[in-house]
Amino acid sequence: MKKIKLAGHTIKIKFVKSLPSNELGKVNFITNEIFIAKKCYDLIVPDEQKAYSLCHELAHLYMYLLSMHELNDNEPFIDSVGGLMFQTFKTYIMEHLIE
């Protein structure tokens, strides 16, 4: 199990076989857990999509921890923030820091 620390909370990241309603990711704000699906509609989710889903769920969690609940409920906003975070990791961090 992977864990990260955010604003004094320990966040557990769990990669699970699949999620209800064929979701790609889900965050539980009560238990501080992020779930990322390995399969969706019986298809294997590519690693890049799993990374994108993790960024999306982290964007939800950031807004929750910052008490910006109206932004947390704004899916297009969350997906934009998550998408930018994913692009940052993909185009800079993975290219330049991880060899």
* Smallest distance from Zn ion to CB 42, Å: 22
Find the binding residues for Zn ion in span 32-91 (CB under 5 A). 78
For Zn ion, the closer CB: 34 or 78 = 78
Give the interface size with Zn ion as a residue count (CB under 5 A).
Answer: 1
43-44/39-40 β-pairing: antiparallel
* Smallest distance from Zn ion to CB 78, Å: 5
Which positions lie near Zn ion, rule CB under 5 A? 78
